[in-house]
Amino acid sequence: MSLSRLEIFNLRIFARARLDPVPGLNLIIGPNASGKTSLLEGIHVLATGRSFRTTRIEHVVHRGSRELMVTGQVTYPHSEKIRMGIRKGASGTRGRLAGRTVRSQSELARVLPLQVIHPDSHELLSGPPAERRSFLDWGLFHEKPEYMKILQGYRRALNQRNEALRRDLPNSVLRGWERELAERGESLDNYRRGYLERLWPVFVGLRWQLPDVEGMTWEYRRGWKEGVNLGEALASARDRERSLGYTLMGPHRAELVLRRDGVSLAMQASRGQQKTAVLLLRLSQVAVHRQVTGRSAVVMVDDLPSELDAERREAALDFLSGLECQVFVSAIEAKQVQGLGNWSSQRMFHVEHGSVREA
Ligand SMILES: Nc1ncnc2c1ncn2[C@@H]1O[C@H](COP(=O)(O)OP(=O)(O)OP(=O)(O)O)[C@@H](O)[C@H]1O
């Protein structure tokens, strides 16, 4: 599955741009400030509804315009095609898929599983635990359609219990929400453990192909004490949580601690080591996605030469071409990224002052 057509309207520097990417490697080449990252941002908005650079969509909308629009066509191996599109602006978001309006952005995300490596990607390790939970959620969202429903139900029940704690409502009210939290929370934990079990052998196999990460391991903490069920943990924490006004235990507090030779990568690794570790995690995730779903994810690397040195670049693109992923990489000069990987198809696009042309 690959993105075979992309059209961008009123996004950052682009008033309008169109390109026909190939299923293999797509090189986005251009000088600084020409619009390379904006092009990748356009694909990200289409697939996820969000930018990877900012949470403020008004910064992404072309100056002087009211909203942006990105449309795309996804082609499957048997030539089946599906059209998708998104409009975003001050008045909200509207998504379309195969000629109908979607109820939620996640419908578009399912069609276009996307991974991106960009200058802030190290935040997967150095950022708050929520970053690592989203990492797990990405894998499960694409593998297990029911997972997101359970997660949403858990979040609703969590908000209700927090509200009840703040209002100091009686235990009988809290118990009702706790039953729901316990049932959904235990289930989320099982899904996450299962996902990490699938990820581990791929991660270990890939570990030795990248420099600097041989001794890397993880420890999953589920968000409440091992050996105790979540219902009991919530009941015993009630008094303390009443004074705090929020729930301290559950999968919303889960953490994935990454270590190398016993040392926390978040605390002590260099930025470069963190980037390699993130690359290892992301590539493992893409490989497991392919194993389980039979579909390849789309992978983008913004400013590849500054994100990864020559050895890591080669390893990453070899691996991704082996998985038959569609890849977009940006760089200032073509020679920095040419000749890497073994691709069935390759195309270069030149970007200059907000216009794109095929080379
Ligand atoms: N909302 C906007 N409307 C119009 N232009 C914008 C908007 N936001 C950013 N720009 C401009 O878009 C241009 C392209 O930025 P972008 O970050 O995509 O370039 P790039 O090719 O990735 O650059 P670099 O190689 O320096 O990272 C910049 O000149 C920037 O000033």
Same domain, 135 and 179: yes
SS3 call for 210:
coil
Same domain, 100 and 244: no
As annotated, the binding site for ATP includes 30-37
**Across 6-10, 112-116, 307-311, least confident range:** 307-311
CA of residue 29 to ligand 1 center, whole Å: 14
Same domain, 103 and 243: no
**What percent of the chain is predicted at pLDDT more than 70?**
100
Same domain, 251 and 313: no
Q: Are 88 and 45 in contact (CB under 8 A)?
A: yes
Same domain, 172 and 271: yes
pLDDT tens digit sequence for 258-299: 999 889 999 888 888 899 999 999 999 999 999 999 999 999
Q: Please, which residues have CB within 8 angstroms of residue 34's CB and are 6 or more apart in sequence?
A: 13, 351, 352, 353, 354
Query: Closest Cα partner for 358 from 73, 26, 114, 79?
Result: 26
Asked if pLDDT for residue 7 goes beyond 90, the answer is: yes
Average confidence (pLDDT) over 181-205: 97
**Across 75-79, 131-135, 166-170, least confident range:** 75-79
- pLDDT grade, residue 242 (50/70/90)? very high
CA of residue 14 to ligand 1 center, whole Å: 9
pLDDT tens digit sequence for 200-215: 999 999 998 888 888 8
Same domain, 25 and 169: no
Burial of 161 (0-12, 13-18, 19+ CB in 10 A): buried
CA of residue 349 to ligand 1 center, whole Å: 17
Torsion of CA 118, 120, 124, 130, to 10 degrees: -120
What phi-psi label fits residue 289: left (phi over 0), alpha (psi between -120 and 50 degrees) or beta?
alpha
Q: Report the pocket of ligand 1 as residue ranges, CB < 6 Å.
A: 12-13, 30, 32-38, 59, 61-63, 303
As annotated, the binding site includes 30-37
Same domain, 104 and 138: no
Please say which residue of 241, 273, 294 terminates a domain.
Answer: 294
Same domain, 222 and 286: yes
Question: How many domains, in total, are found in the chain?
Answer: 2
**What percent of the chain is predicted at pLDDT more than 90?**
89
Note the pTM of the prediction, 2 decimals: 0.95
Q: Are 70 and 45 in contact (CB under 8 A)?
A: yes
CATH for 96 = 3.40.50.300
For position 336, what pLDDT does the model report?
87
Same domain, 284 and 314: no
The residue whose CB lies within 8 Å of the most ligand 1 atoms, and thus the one to mutate among 16, 27, 34, is 34
Please say which residue of 239, 262, 294 terminates a domain.
Answer: 294
Please say which residue of 251, 270, 294 terminates a domain.
Answer: 294
Same domain, 272 and 213: yes
Same domain, 269 and 137: yes
Same domain, 285 and 325: no
Average confidence (pLDDT) over 339-347: 93
CATH for 164 = 1.20.1050.90
Domain, as residue range, for 355: 1-113+298-359
* Mean pLDDT rounded to a whole number for the chain: 95
